[in-house]
Structure 1
Amino acid sequence: MKIRTRLFFILTLLMVSNLSILPCFAQYAAHTQLSLPEGAKARLGKGSINEIAYSPDGSLLAVASRIGTWLYDTETSEALALLTGHTGGVTNVSFSPDGTILASAGGSFDRTVRLWDVGTGTLKSEITTGHLGDISSISFSPDGTTLASGSLGFGAAVRLWDVGTGTLKAEIKGLWGGITNLSFSPDGMTLASSWDWDMKVRLWDVGTGTLKSEITTGHSELYSILFSPDGTTLASTGARGDTTVRLWDVGTGTLKSEITTGHYWGNITIAFNQDGSTLASGSNDDWRVLLWDVATGTRKVTIKGHLAGVVSVSFSPDGSTLASGSFDGTVRLSNIATSTLKAEFIGHAALGNISFSPDGATLASSSGRMLSLWDVATGTRKTTLSGHLLGIRCLSFSPDGTILASGSSNGPLRIDTARLWDVATDTLKLKSTLEGDYWVSSVSFSPDGTILASGIWETAVGVSEGKVRLWDVATGTLKSELIGHAGDVHSVSFSPDGTTLASGGQDETVRLWDVATGTLKSELIGHAGDVHSVSFSPDGTTLASGGQDETVRLWDVATGTIKATFTEHTTAVYSVLFSPDGTTLASVDERVRLWDVATGAVKFTSTFTGAGRVLFKPDGSTLASYGDGGTVLLWDFALAPSESPRLAADVNGDGQVNIQDLVAVAAAFGETGKIPADVNSDGVVNIQDLVAVAAAFGKMAAGAPSAANLSAETVQQWLSDAKRLNLTDAISQRGIRFLEQLLLGLTPKETALLANYPNPFNPETWIPYQLASPADITLRIYTIDGSLVRMLSLGHKEVGIYQSRNRAAYWDGKNEFGEPVASGVCFYTLTAGDFNATRKMFIRK
């Protein structure tokens, strides 16, 4: 394995260097160069951790992250490779028993399983699973010939795949709600499955696909299941308040023992050691890993060191080492005998907001409650410190680089002062705390550094309004409040001369304020949705704004009129920023786009990066972006222009984007490589390419469908249009058959109320549902004692799956009087015609 691993590492570096590493980038650390998007020169961070797994011989550790699968050498702690290709990150990983194959499952809307050759790092095959919901679990059979996959949501099923051929061997259907966990018995004859809300473990005969028995666990909510190495015991764990581990006799289905772990909240992940005598447990609300004597149920060892909750644990094959992955962005290898740290893999925290120091040498980033400083020249992290009690939403350096301002998602605003590039100290010292009962959404220093503006959402009892507050940086006192926005103030920006402040908010407006007097100078109306970002041009004459309506608008500051509107974005625009010379505008949805300000032409469009924010290095040489993947990408600003999205969407090259292009993408679904149907250039033809073409129909400017909000009505229209063209060639017919299958998958066979997300939540949540027939929809929310909190009348809805944030029901966590609902369990009931269903959710303050 070691020889193959080294070969794998060398091949990986060669492949990456051929694709994306230029000689001028050689100063960056090796792991920052792996599997970069085209045009990027380095990656800071590695994406947050979803799951970890040891290879059978213990020489490798696989880490499933939001940007791909990382492979580490467990002896040297070296990052050997980053395996990418899934469109929604990687949720699960599993090594085959002989260690030659690594399986990875894709996240939201990917729904594929990829099988990787561990020796070469190449993709052996991709299984398009056909699951209608997200893949929640994968597991190899003990002989390595079968891979099981389970899914969530409507049409949930367990599917068994032939590893050699990638074909479906068997399917277990009728699993209402979904599958959250799968575990093969050691002899491969039995497969255990569970779903968190069902609280039952089902044991299936692998040979026949029939149900052998059910275990009613008694957990308030079920989180994970696992067979012991000898197959006689099945462990189950609780979630969301249930902190127990229960051990069941597989033969009789009776409870053998129960371990009250003492973890703080639940959501307990577990692992058995090789002989089954020890059980490890970790919780995503507890920083500890606990080791238990399975025979007696007593605690043997407590392993500390993480700075946030634990999401995954795994024993080395020889049982001497425990690997644990945490929300703090680290994977720690601990010596079990001594409880000491053997090795640590860092950089897996999901990075948030970013800010360049004025000299461009340092990049500050946030990750939850943590603040990090990065060396821009090498891509290495200089320091990481905890700065807030809750998540950090915004960062900004003062013009002289001595102060870093950060705003929290709820609670105080902290101004942290340091000489950021003082290598001797390399620390952030808390200078002052600006108290208040509000969410801080954005911060910006005045050009002279004397004033800090903070965009906030007041959350005091009985109050819900947006404000801009101006603070005296020297004294930390409040100078003035700018009141007028209704809802969150997402972005604030000073004009270059410091006399005007722009703010953009949830109320769909951009406002210009006189800084000296605090009066409103003008209100700019035009966006049809939240305004997420505002930015002045260097000369102060133009203001750019980006919004939920998928547009970028350029405003004349003097007159308040629209100078230009850029409409090529296909999802919400979360960031806009002028280059230092003012000739280029950067904007971000899920891609980075660079615009020629004078002509409105697209100069560059990145491949899909999940980007959410963008920032220019002060000298204009580098562009930094961060987003859903939890990493920061550094781009060389001297980029060659790329094809515009509209030309890329003209798949058949006939000069126009129409239904033939959509059918051509559908016909090539699942193909890989550099082909015209891969519209977004991510290496595989999939639903995102289909949507990219649809978004370009008739030069759509806004409101185009995305992978998150495809509807049966939309696909039905596509299908009807295709059939009217009487396309008789074999390729077109294949595309039409795909559209028919897609329509079938989007047409529910039964009406159902689905699990809300996020859950627990604070303060807002989305409640998905699906309709098998048109109906008037009403949603009622009750407290645990049955009192009605809120009734939402959603109107008449057509057949379809209402699952994305654009389509699901939305609740802001408030009662009918606009007051926040207290923490605790609530129930929500959906009424659709004669259909009624109720589920529970948890508000966590």
Structure 2
Amino acid sequence: MELGGRLIRFRSRGVPLWKIGGGVLCLLVVLTACAAPPTPAPPSPTPSPSPTHTATVTPSPTATFTPTPTATPTPTPTPVRAGTPFASDPQGILEINLEQVVELARWGYGSSRDIALSPDGTWLAVATRLGVVLYRANPLTFFTLLNVWEPLQVAFSADSQRLYIASQGIEEWDLTTMQPERTFPSEGASRAMEMILSRDEQTLALLYPDPIGKSAAWLERWDLSKGALTATLRLPSPGSAVREVALSPDLNHAALHGGGLVQVVNARTGDPLTLLPASQSPPGKMTFSPDGSLLAVAYPDQRYDFQNTNRIEVFTVPHGVRQFTYRLSGGEGKDQALISLAYSPAGDFLAAGFANRVVRLWQGVGLPRMTLQGETEPAQLLFSPDGARLVSSGVDVWEIASGERL
């Protein structure tokens, strides 16, 4: 018998196995089967749960949107004033065509900072964000725009031939050539709040707030004949940083405040003179009378309380004694806040401008003698040298005798 690749011979009592026959072989098979360990019965099959059939959702076809071509808009020309040339096929401003760019029109000149009338009544200068706008004063017609960077204050010489402008420095312009002649390197010109030329034209005084925000202002005095700075004075102010200043025409006194008490100072020495009485509402604009003996202080209404607390108080200089109080009544005062003051050259009229484009004139005490209606806010007011006209920074011009807006 061959098993596992080897031939094995069995003998039984000398008889060869192959002679025993099939019976022995069967017995051997049976014995071998009886000697093997019993084969365990196969485990009963555990019934598998029937799978739950989930319905297959057939996706609905998604609609395909066909893009609709959008029409290219036709450029609409920008509206321009009559007489302004305008290209029908405007082109973009690129580096290659910068040399072709020219000014076609200018609408407005920005907000006003200061106004001045020449002593001979010929010129009206308005300092604006874009430069100094120069008008012929009578009749009022635009003349030119002086290219000055961020001007703040303007003042004419007594002969009306020169214009001084506080900008990055103090510029002196010759009005016969319309060209700058000199520039004074003033440290405070770029922050100027008041600039006055002395009556003898020897001194130009410039008043500006402290550069680092302290409760003080600085006064520069320039000798125009030499073009030299002759004095710099520190003028103290109570409370916070200075917000408003005023300088008397004779350059003797200054008034300043930071929204609280008003300090009157000697502008020759820098010594504080007096504090004006405290008020329930913060002070605003201030102006000196032509002879410097009076100081008018505006107290604008700052609350919506269905009242009108706008008022003007007039004090003596330098002692600060209250002389007059001008009040208004009716309406909501916040809507018509007091924003500007000006004395006439003779000191007989006091003009006050309000945020509702109204200007009121007082003469003496009592109620306003005249109410004038303008088209713009009178941020600054100025009388003509002869006192016959009143000009606002808008520019509105009124005739005082008739009250007519010219």
The bucket for the TM-score relative to the shorter chain is 0.5 to 0.7
- The residue type equivalent to 2:317 in the other structure is V
Decide whether aligned partners of structure 1 residues 77 and 268 sit closer, same or farther in structure 2, where only a CA change above 3 A counts.
same
The equivalent of 2:391 in structure 1 is 323
1:304 aligned to 2:378? no
**Aligned pair partner of 1:314 in 362, 378, 382:** 382
The residue aligned with 2:342 is 271
TM-score in terms of structure 2 length = 0.65
Structure 1 residues 144-168: Cα deviation after superposition (integer angstroms, max 9, x where no partner): 2222222234164222222233322
Question: Does 1:56 find its partner at 2:119?
Answer: yes
How far apart, CA to CA, are the structure 1 residues paired with 2:277 and 2:130?
37
**SS state of the match for residue 276, structure 2?**
strand
Does structure 1 residue 254 correspond to structure 2 residue 321?
yes
Q: State the shift of 1:72 in Å.
A: 0.8
Deviation at 1:251, TM superposition (A): 4.4
Which of residues 334, 338, 356 is equivalent to 1:286? 356
Q: Relative to structure 1, is the Cα distance of residues 138 and 132 closer, same or farther in structure 2, using a 3 angstrom cutoff?
A: closer
> Alpha-carbon deviation of 1:230?
2.8
Q: Per the alignment, in what secondary structure is the counterpart of residue 223 of structure 1?
A: coil
* TM-score, normalised via structure 1 length: 0.33
Percent identical: 24
| Mapping 1:237-636, distance limit 5 Å | 237-239=298-300, 241=302, 243-261=310-328, 264-283=335-354, 285-293=355-363, 295-306=364-375, 308-326=376-394, 331-342=395-406
Q: Given that residues 274 and 319 in structure 2 are in contact (C-alpha distance below 8 angstroms), is that contact kept between their aligned partners in structure 1?
A: no
Helix, strand or coil for the counterpart of 2:379? strand
SS of 1:43's equivalent? coil
**Partner of 2:218 in structure 1?**
157
Q: What letter matches 1:286 in structure 2?
A: N
How far off its partner does 1:189 sit? 5.2
1:224-235 equivalent positions in 2, closer than 5 A: 224-235=285-296
Question: Which of 185, 188, 198 is 1:141 aligned to?
Answer: 198
Instruction: Tell me: CA distance 1:333–1:219, structure 2 relative to 1, closer, same or farther (3 Å).
Output: farther
Say which SS state the counterpart of residue 270 (structure 1) adopts.
strand
Give deviations 1:485-523, integer Å, cap 9, x for gaps.
xxxxxxxxxxxxxxxxxxxxxxxxxxxxxxxxxxxxxxx
Look up the match of 2:282. 221
Secondary structure at the residue paired with 2:380? strand
Partner AA of 1:310 in structure 2: P
Q: Report the counterpart of residue 549 of structure 1 in structure 2.
A: none
Distance 1:127 1:216 in 2: 38
The one-letter amino acid of 2:130's match is I
Name the SS for the 2:242 alignment partner: coil
CA distance in 1, matches of 2:280, 2:164: 30
Contact 1:46–1:67 (CA under 8 A) maintained in structure 2: no
Please give the residue correspondences for 1:644-659 in structure 2 after superposition, counting only pairs within 5 Å. Answer: none
Q: For the Cα contact (< 8 Å) 2:235–2:272, is it kept in 1?
A: no
Deviation at 1:277, TM superposition (A): 1.1
Aligned-partner Cα distance in 2 for 1:136–1:201: 16
Classify 1:323/1:38 alpha carbon distance in 2 versus 1 (closer, same or farther; 3 Å).
Answer: farther
Q: Deviations 1:421-449 (Å, cap 9, x if unpaired)? A: xxxxxxxxxxxxxxxxxxxxxxxxxxxxx
Change (3 A) 1:160 1:70: same
2:104 pairs with 1:42: yes
Structure 1 residues 339 and 94: alpha-carbon distance in aligned structure 2, compared to 1, 3 A threshold: same
Q: Measure how far apart 1:324 and its partner are.
A: 1.4
**Alpha-carbon contact 2:195-2:206 (below 8 Å) kept:** yes
Structure 2: how far apart are the matches of 1:117 and 1:324?
Answer: 25
Q: What residue identity is the alignment partner of 1:266?
A: A
Secondary structure of the residue that 1:246 maps to in structure 2? Answer: strand
> Residue 261 of structure 2 contacts residue 275 of structure 2 at CA under 8 Å; is this kept in 1?
no
Q: Using the TM superposition, give the Cα deviation of residue 125 of structure 1 relative to its aligned residue in structure 2, in angstroms.
A: 1.8
Q: CA RMSD in A?
A: 2.7
Contact 2:299–2:338 under 8 Å retained in 1: yes
Deviations 1:289-315 (CA, angstroms, capped at 9, x unpaired): 11111x213201111132x42211111
Taking the aligned partners of 1:38 and 1:78, their CA distance within structure 2 comes to 30
Spell out, residue by residue over 1:453-497, the C-alpha distance to the aligned partner (whole angstroms, 9 max, x if none). xxxxxxxxxxxxxxxxxxxxxxxxxxxxxxxxxxxxxxxxxxxxx
Match of 1:199 in 2: 261
Distance 1:175 1:66 in 2: 30
Judged with a 3 Å threshold, the aligned counterparts in structure 2 of structure 1 residues 116 and 179 are, in CA distance, closer, same or farther, namely farther
1:38-117 correspondence runs (5 A)? 39-48=101-110, 49-86=112-149, 89-106=150-167, 110=168, 112-117=169-174
Cross-structure match for 2:230: 169
Seen in structure 2, the aligned counterparts of structure 1 residues 100 and 210 have a Cα distance that, compared at 3 Å, is farther
Report the secondary structure of 2:140's partner residue: coil
Q: Is the 8 A contact 1:151 1:180 kept in 2?
A: no
Q: How many residues are matched?
A: 293
> What is the distance in 1 between the residues matched to 2:164 and 2:277?
30
Whole-Å separation in 2 of the counterparts to 1:28 and 1:303: 34
Match of 1:738 in 2: none
Alpha carbons 2:247, 2:288 under 8 Å: kept? yes
CA contact (8 A) 2:358 2:371 kept: yes
Deviation at 1:269, TM superposition (A): 0.8
Q: Is the 8 A contact 1:161 1:169 kept in 2?
A: yes
Structure 2, unaligned runs of 5 or more: 1-82, 86-98, 303-308
Structure with greater strand share of residues: 1
Give the match for residue 697 of structure 1: none
Residues 205/325 of structure 1: CA separation in 2 closer, same or farther (3 Å cut): closer
Contact in 1 for aligned 2:173/2:181 (Cα 8 Å): yes
Which of these two proteins has the greater Rg computed from alpha carbons?
2
Corresponding residue for residue 591 of structure 1:
none
What is the CA distance between 1:28 and its match in structure 2? Answer: 5.0
Q: 8 Å contact 1:193–1:202 — kept in the other structure?
A: yes
Q: Distance in 2 between matches of 1:100 and 1:179?
A: 32
Q: 1:814-833, CA deviations, whole angstroms, 9 ceiling, x for partnerless residues?
A: xxxxxxxxxxxxxxxxxxxx
